[in-house]
């Protein structure tokens, strides 16, 4: 008799975005005349940068010729892309990352979800609350947690992010082995300073822990004093893996390209205390389970680093940041406490009531869909996330309706 992986049964039955979709479609069925503006799901809305589209087309044409055809490529990604990433994303910011420390993949979701499997099944994990749900759920699937009681899994060290700590978690009180951090944060939109990040790097060194740093939104950091990579912090190469993606930065959510940085000096230990190269482990895992991102997609991603590509990506990011500034201003004017939206596409708003109640209020009174904060962890209760990923017209319309409904 084939049995299931019973850890899956511990997962919370409902999935945030399907719950939202159900409520939205119920509302639409009851009010077919009302149009609904979606500022909920974290997906981009604007077209791919033209530099990427041109490179994408050209690479497809290459594939149509014998001379330009590409079959399986290197699992870790083509040198043209890894070189461009190392130079533009890291070396230019003073972070000494070499191309062979970069693993190109089809998504930061997969990478942040898969990374845990190269670490021990009994590793103690620390996960921010609230945060992108992938980190927690993949550890539940792997059996690193106990049951879920009242919204929290046994065995997980939750890093509470609340108004009191400016949504930057305090260092854990007991030693942990794996630490997930995400800045600019999804869902709170908050950022971390170099000094604050240095405290985590020092903690990881002292405890021989590893930081899994998700920087999927780094392109939204416009404040030059803030780090865009954890490797801008001294010593981070010894203790951190960084996840990046072209999804939110260059509109690749439907095109699929991302990368993970695993520095060569990063170590983890076996039960006998022997040190192992994490780079070698991840390389083994990546090559065994992944066959590379398609050549045209990698060409499209590399175009992000051309002069035109850089300017166009900045145009996209600025467009969304302008939306975010409008949302911030309008919601603050209505008297709400909020964070995020200045170096991030997300605004995290204290709704002063239950998250789902506030969600329903915005949906039924204003026809605007947001994301209830409770879906990202129990510390998210009472908050909602509004996303700046939409057209300027829709954001303005949504804010006018909210103003009218809540004033
Ligand atoms: C959207 C998102 C990702 C997913 O990126 P993909 O490369 O599209 O898989 C990863 N991390 C966070 C925090 C995100 O919000």
What is the per-residue pLDDT across 89-148, written as a single tens digit (0 to 9) for each? 999 999 999 999 999 999 999 999 999 999 999 999 999 999 999 999 999 999 999 999
Predicted confidence at residue 406, as pLDDT, reads 87
Does the pLDDT of residue 203 top 80, yes or no?
yes
pLDDT digits over 162-186, tens only? 999 999 999 999 899 999 999 999 9
> Is 182 touching ligand 1 by the criterion CB < 6 Å?
yes
Q: Which atom of ligand 1 is nearest to the CA of 245?
A: 7
What are the angstrom distances between the C-alpha of 32 and each of 26, 27, 359, 371? 10, 8, 19, 22
pLDDT digits over 210-226, tens only? 999 999 999 999 999 99
Q: Nearest CA to 11 among 197, 148, 216?
A: 148
Does the pLDDT of residue 15 top 80, yes or no?
no
Q: What's the CA dihedral at 242, 248, 249, 254 to 10 degrees?
A: 110
Predicted confidence at residue 178, as pLDDT, reads 98
Cα(1) to centroid of ligand 1, in Å?
37
pLDDT digits over 236-288, tens only? 999 999 999 999 999 999 999 999 999 999 999 999 999 999 999 999 999 99
16 or 63: which carries more pLDDT confidence?
63
Does the pLDDT of residue 353 top 70, yes or no?
yes
Q: How many CA atoms lie within 13 A of 161 on its CB side?
A: 30
Q: Which atom of ligand 1 is nearest to the CA of 182?
A: 13
Burial pattern 83-111, b for ≥16 Cβ within 10 A else e, equals bbbbeebbeeeebebebebbbbbbbbbbb
**What pTM does this model have?**
0.97
- Residue 69 to residue 71: CA distance in whole angstroms: 7
Q: pLDDT band for 151, please (50, 70, 90 cuts).
A: confident
φ, ψ for residue 136, nearest 5 deg: -70, -50
> Is 227 touching ligand 1 by the criterion CB < 6 Å?
no
Q: Nearest CA to 247 among 392, 117, 52?
A: 52
Q: Contact 406/365 with Cβ under 8 angstroms?
A: yes
Q: Contact 76/227 with Cβ under 8 angstroms?
A: no
Mean pLDDT score of the chain: 96
Q: How do 157-160 and 125-129 pair as beta strands?
A: parallel
Predicted confidence at residue 82, as pLDDT, reads 98
Predicted confidence at residue 149, as pLDDT, reads 87
Q: pLDDT band for 152, please (50, 70, 90 cuts).
A: very high
Structure tokens at 304: 């992000």
Q: Contact 119/99 with Cβ under 8 angstroms?
A: no
> Is 106 touching ligand 1 by the criterion CB < 6 Å?
no
- From 245, 255, 256, the mutation candidate for ligand 1 (largest count of ligand atoms within 8 A of CB) is 245
Q: Contact 382/187 with Cβ under 8 angstroms?
A: no
Residues contacting 164, CB < 8 A, separation 6+: none
Cα(43) to centroid of ligand 1, in Å?
9
> Is 253 touching ligand 1 by the criterion CB < 6 Å?
yes
Q: What does the domain layout of the chain look like in residue ranges?
A: 6-47+308-406, 53-305
- Residue 120 to residue 80: CA distance in whole angstroms: 34
Does the pLDDT of residue 337 top 90, yes or no?
yes
Q: For residue 181, list its beta bridge partners.
A: 213
Cα(133) to centroid of ligand 1, in Å?
10
Q: pLDDT band for 14, please (50, 70, 90 cuts).
A: low
Mean pLDDT, residues 314-325: 98
Does the pLDDT of residue 18 top 90, yes or no?
no
| Percent of the chain residues past pLDDT 70, beyond the cut | 99
Q: Nearest CA to 403 among 322, 324, 328, 330?
A: 330
| Percent of the chain residues past pLDDT 90, beyond the cut | 95
φ, ψ for residue 3, nearest 5 deg: -110, 155
The CATH number of domain 6-47+308-406 is 3.90.1150.10: yes
Mean pLDDT, residues 153-170: 97
Q: Any idea what the Cα angle at residue 310 is, between residues 309 and 314, rounded to 5°?
A: 115
The CATH number of domain 53-305 is 3.40.640.10: yes
């Amino acid at each position: 008799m084939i049995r299931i992986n019973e850890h899956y049964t511990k997962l919370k039955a409902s999935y945030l975005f399907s719950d939202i979709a159900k409520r939205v479609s119920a509302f639409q069925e009851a009010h077919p005349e009302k149009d609904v503006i979606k500022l909920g799901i974290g997906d981009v809305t604007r077209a791919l940068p033209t530099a990427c589209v041109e490179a994408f087309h050209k690479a497809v044409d290459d594939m149509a010729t014998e001379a330009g055809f590409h079959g399986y490529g290197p699992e870790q990604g083509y040198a043209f892309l890894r070189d461009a990433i190392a130079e533009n994303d890291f070396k230019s910011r003073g972070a000494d990352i070499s191309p062979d420390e970069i693993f190109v993949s089809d998504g930061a979701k997969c990478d942040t979800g898969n990374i845990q499997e190269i670490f021990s099944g009994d590793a103690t994990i620390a996960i921010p609350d609230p945060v992108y749900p992938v980190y927690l759920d993949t550890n539940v699937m792997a059996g690193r947690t106990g049951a879920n009681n009242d919204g929290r899994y046994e065995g997980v060290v939750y890093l509470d992010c609340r108004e009191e700590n400016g949504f930057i978690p305090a260092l854990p009180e007991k030693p942990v082995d794996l630490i997930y951090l995400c800045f600019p944060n999804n869902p709170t939109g908050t950022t971390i300073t170099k000094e604050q990040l240095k405290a985590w790097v020092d903690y990881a060194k002292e405890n021989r822990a590893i930081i899994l740093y998700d920087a999927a939104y780094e392109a939204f950091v416009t404040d030059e004093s803030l780090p865009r990579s954890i490797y801008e912090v001294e010593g981070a190469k010894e203790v951190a893996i960084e996840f990046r993606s072209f999804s939110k930065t260059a509109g690749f959510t439907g095109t699929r390209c991302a990368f993970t940085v695993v520095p060569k000096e990063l170590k983890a230990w076996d039960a006998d205390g022997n040190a192992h190269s994490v780079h070698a482990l991840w390389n083994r895992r990546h090559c065994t389970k992944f066959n590379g991102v398609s050549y045209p997609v990698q060409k499209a991603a590399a175009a992000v680093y051309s002069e035109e590509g850089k300017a166009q990506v900045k145009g996209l990011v600025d467009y969304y940041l302008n939306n975010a500034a409008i949302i911030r201003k309008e919601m603050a004017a209505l008297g709400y406490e909020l964070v995020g939206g200045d170096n991030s596409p997300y605004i995290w708003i204290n709704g002063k009531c239950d998250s789902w109640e506030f969600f329903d209020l915005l949906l039924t009174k204003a026809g605007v869909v947001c994301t209830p904060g409770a879906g990202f962890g129990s510390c998210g209760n009472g908050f909602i996330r509004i996303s700046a990923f939409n057209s300027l017209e829709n954001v303005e319309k949504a804010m006018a309706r909210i103003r009218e409904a809540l004033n």
